Amino acid sequence: MIKTILITLSIISLLSCKTEQKKEIFYQAPNGKIFSSEKYEEVKLKLSQRGAIHEAILSTVERNDSIINLFETTVKEVNPYSEMENFIGKKLPFENLMDIDGDTLNIESLNGKPTLVNLWFVNCPPCVEEIPHLNELKEHYGDRVNFLAVTFDKKKQVEDFLLNRTFHFTHSIDAQIEMDKLNTKSYPLNIYLDKNGIIQSYQGSLSKDLDRGMKKELDKLL
């Protein structure tokens, strides 16, 4: 009799444990797409790269084996180039630039023409991706505009890069100290200087529609 009672209690205990097993949690987006908890965290991490996330759980549906949270997230976009606003209307604060041959490159010598300054580095995929468009601008404006590419990369890195890719700008290398003066860590960064070397505007990666983007900005400075 006692043995029967113990067996019965064991069965009840096992059934109770099974009933109390932790339910799997899922997240459902407003469009109906459902994510596992792991995938949901990946999505939030990716969104966080664009700015601050506001997350809201709108409702929760509990089932026998799972819990589904209906969620909504919004992202407050962050301008990675916002520090550049402090430089509009001022001269580009680069004083000690060096060209790829090791000679001093005086930024004041560029005055008299509008100048497009491209900040980049060789291991920056979006920087490399826009080079054909930059070359197109150089071909379009010719000598009417100065085109200067500035990087913190060393001479050999840039020379090796230029062996395999065409980049028709004047190149300034090893310029980490100068670039840091702009307080930006996002690249590429394109800066438009007027004929007096004053910063008029800036943008990150180029729009592929050059006529409405960079050409429009440069035409205003001619």
pLDDT score recorded for residue 5: 45
Conformational region of residue 142, where left means phi above 0, alpha means psi within -120 to 50, and beta covers everything else = left
Residue 89 has pLDDT above 60, yes or no: yes
pLDDT band at 6 (very low <50, low <70, confident <90, very high): very low
- For 11, the token pair is 């069965």
Percent of the chain with pLDDT over 90: 50
Least confident of 54-63, 91-100, 109-118, 186-195: 54-63
Least confident of 49-53, 61-65, 175-179: 49-53
Domain extents for the chain?
22-77, 82-221
Q: What is the mean pLDDT of residues 204-220?
A: 74
pLDDT band at 85 (very low <50, low <70, confident <90, very high): very high
The span from the CA of 133 to the CA of 201, in Å, is 18
Residue 201: beta bridge partners? 192
State the sign of the Cα–Cα–Cα–Cα dihedral 117, 121, 127, 133.
Answer: positive
Closest CA to 151 of 114, 130, 192, 180: 180
pLDDT band at 8 (very low <50, low <70, confident <90, very high): very low
The span from the CA of 201 to the CA of 218, in Å, is 10
The span from the CA of 49 to the CA of 60, in Å, is 27
- Tokens 């690249």 found at: 187
Task: Place domain 82-221 in its CATH homologous superfamily.
Answer: Glutaredoxin (3.40.30.10)
pLDDT digits (tens, 9 = 90+) for 138-190: 999 999 999 999 999 999 999 999 999 999 999 999 999 999 999 988 899 99
pLDDT digits (tens, 9 = 90+) for 70-83: 888 877 766 778 88
pLDDT digits (tens, 9 = 90+) for 30-44: 888 888 888 888 887
Q: What is the mean pLDDT of residues 130-136?
A: 93
The span from the CA of 103 to the CA of 50, in Å, is 39
